Amino acid sequence: MTASNPASVVPSIHDRFAAVRQRIAQTCVEVRRDPASVILTAVSKTQPSEALEAALATGQRVFGENRVQEAQAHWAERRAALPDLELRLIGPLQTNKAVEAVELFDVIETLDREKLASALAAAMQKTGRRPRVLVQVNTGAEPQKAGVLPADADALIAAARDVHGLTVEGLMCIPPADEAPDPHFKMLGEIAARNGLSVLSMGMSGDYEAAIRSGATHVRVGSALFGERNTPLKPS
Ligand X SMILES: *Cc1c(COP(=O)(O)O)cnc(C)c1O
Residues engaged in binding ligand X (CB under 6 A) = 43, 45, 66, 90-91, 174, 204-206, 220-224
> In terms of CB distance, is 95 or 223 closer to ligand X?
223
For the bound state, the minimum distance from the C-beta of residue 126 to ligand X, rounded and expressed in Å, comes to 27
For the bound state, the minimum distance from the C-beta of residue 124 to ligand X, rounded and expressed in Å, comes to 23
**Using CA atoms, how far apart are residues 151 and 163, in angstroms rounded to an integer?**
19
For the bound state, the minimum distance from the C-beta of residue 224 to ligand X, rounded and expressed in Å, comes to 6
For the bound state, the minimum distance from the C-beta of residue 43 to ligand X, rounded and expressed in Å, comes to 4
> In terms of CB distance, is 126 or 229 closer to ligand X?
229
**Using CA atoms, how far apart are residues 106 and 84, in angstroms rounded to an integer?**
11
**Using CA atoms, how far apart are residues 119 and 125, in angstroms rounded to an integer?**
10
**Using CA atoms, how far apart are residues 195 and 153, in angstroms rounded to an integer?**
9
Q: How far apart are the first and last CA of the chain?
A: 15
> In terms of CB distance, is 108 or 204 closer to ligand X?
204
Residues 6+ apart with CB under 8 A from 176: 140, 142, 145, 184
Residues 6+ apart with CB under 8 A from 151: none
Which residue sits closest to ligand X, CB atoms considered?
222
> In terms of CB distance, is 135 or 221 closer to ligand X?
221
For the bound state, the minimum distance from the C-beta of residue 37 to ligand X, rounded and expressed in Å, comes to 19
Burial (CB count within 10 angstroms: exposed 0-12, middle 13-18, buried 19+), residue 56:
middle
Beta-carbon count within 10 A of 210 CB: 17
How does DSSP assign 156-197, residue by residue?
HHHIIIIIT---EEEEE----TTS-SHHHHHHHHHHHHHTT-
> In terms of CB distance, is 129 or 145 closer to ligand X?
145
> In terms of CB distance, is 107 or 174 closer to ligand X?
174
> In terms of CB distance, is 98 or 201 closer to ligand X?
201
Label each residue of 4-31 as H, E or C.
CCHHHCCCCHHHHHHHHHHHHHHHHHHC
For the bound state, the minimum distance from the C-beta of residue 71 to ligand X, rounded and expressed in Å, comes to 12
For the bound state, the minimum distance from the C-beta of residue 234 to ligand X, rounded and expressed in Å, comes to 19
